Structure 1
Amino acid sequence: MAEQSNAPAKTSRKQQAEQTKQKLLTVAMELIREQGFDNVKIEDICRAAGVSTGAFYHHLKSKAGIVVESYSQCDAYFNETVYPSLANDCTVNAVLQYIAFQMQYATDFGVDIILQIYKAQLTEGTDFFLSPERGLPLGLTRILAHLQQQGVIRSEKPAEEICREILVISRGVLYNWCQCKGNYDLKAFALELVSNYLKSYTI
């Protein structure tokens, strides 16, 4: 008698685990936006999500894990939505629009969560945040490489290096925005600085 496959059960368990993780993340982000990161306890998140604390630690490890995981979803958004929407643009505007999406994403997160992202970058996930293979930097690198192939920007410096320098600018703007408690137009300031930077590479 042939053995019955347990693949469907495994798939169902995997889907249930992903749903639990997403529910925890969604509830956690809502509570953090409402109350502030430092004021929200893991027990509060679990109670609101109807999930055990054991499940929380299994999926997110710690409160800082909420921030790291939320940025992982940010990468998926840039990889699956933002980059495809700009991939065929053969102008420098593609780079500026990409940064505009980054700043809008940060604005939607809010100052408090961006502050926690910076803390997590230093204490929880340095290798992850600096990886050029993440969705956000990878999409920007591809756009820059495409513009170099089209002769729109100069090619003496690799696209990966130009991307790294642009993201240093954008991270600096985000850091300053947090210092100023979000009291200026983040997107406009970032686009001004990146636009000025790109002038040195435009043919």
Structure 2
Amino acid sequence: MNKLNNREQKAINKKWHISETAMALFKERGYNSVKVKEICKAADISLGTFYHYFSSKDSIIDETYQIIDERIFECLDERKFNTPIDKILGILEQSACIMQEELGYVLMVGSYYQIISSKPDYSYSHNRNLYVTLVETLKEGIATGYFKKDTEPEEIAETCLRLGRGDIIDWCLKGGSFKLCDLIVKDLKRMLYSIVVNPEDLEF
């Protein structure tokens, strides 16, 4: 990969600054209560600068999912997993923990409102790193005989993410009153149990 020049690095830093400022406002006040001009004021930028980096306020939310994915794989980079299920659970648990501890339920309410009311982009994309990694892990598990041969990797990956979204919405509806990480792991274990060749060996 070519090293970024000074101008490119400054552009990346500026975009991150705007994104982080917006996310802090969303978390504090809720997505719908924050206007673009307020983001500009808090970030000390002009309206033109904002629209140079983002097409709309909604596009910041889409960017959030890319940030979440980057954080997931940064946190898991040094971890070793004993089984494919451990890896799947590790990835999705880390995702839930980032949403719970770093973003908060107020921001996630705004995020889901935006996703539902507009056309989903990165968060639902099959090119998303999170989805691609889940599919690859499932395929590896099938090839090594850990998962049943009739397992459909793409279908199971979709189910994992759909189940996770359901738990996130439930967590938001209940005001973030329980540990999202624990619920997602618990529900995923129940679902993944059905595709393991030797489920009796699992410590569920």
By the TM > 0.5 criterion, same fold?
yes
SS of 1:200's equivalent in the other structure is helix
2:98 to 95, 102, 105: 105
**Structure 2, gaps ≥5 residues long:** 198-204
Single out whichever of 141-150 and 97-106 deviates more from structure 2. Answer: 141-150
**Structure 1, gaps ≥5 residues long:** 1-7
TM-score (norm 2): 0.84
Q: State, as a whole percentage, how many aligned pairs show the same letter.
A: 25
Query: Contact 1:152–1:202 (CA<8 Å) still a contact in 2?
Result: yes
**Match of 2:64?**
70
**Match of 2:131?**
137
**Match of 1:26?**
20
**Match of 1:117?**
111
Larger radius of gyration: 1
Query: Which amino acid in 2 is paired with 1:97?
Result: G
Superposed displacement of residue 141, structure 1? 1.7
User: For the residues of structure 2 that align with 1:140 and 1:65, how far apart are their CA atoms?
Assistant: 25
Query: Contact 2:69–2:95 (CA<8 Å) still a contact in 1?
Result: no
User: For the residues of structure 2 that align with 1:96 and 1:112, how far apart are their CA atoms?
Assistant: 25
Structure 1 runs of 4+ aligned residues shifted over 6 Å read none
**Match of 2:166?**
172
Query: Which amino acid in 1 is paired with 2:186?
Result: E
Report 1:33-72 matches (<5 A): 33-72=27-66
Query: Which amino acid in 2 is paired with 1:105?
Result: I
User: For the residues of structure 2 that align with 1:98 and 1:142, how far apart are their CA atoms?
Assistant: 13
Aligned residues: 194
TM-score (norm 1): 0.85
User: For the residues of structure 1 that align with 2:77 and 2:144, how far apart are their CA atoms?
Assistant: 17
SS of 2:194's equivalent in the other structure is coil
**Match of 1:16?**
10
Superposed displacement of residue 82, structure 1? 5.1
Query: Contact 1:43–1:53 (CA<8 Å) still a contact in 2?
Result: yes
Superposed displacement of residue 11, structure 1? 3.6
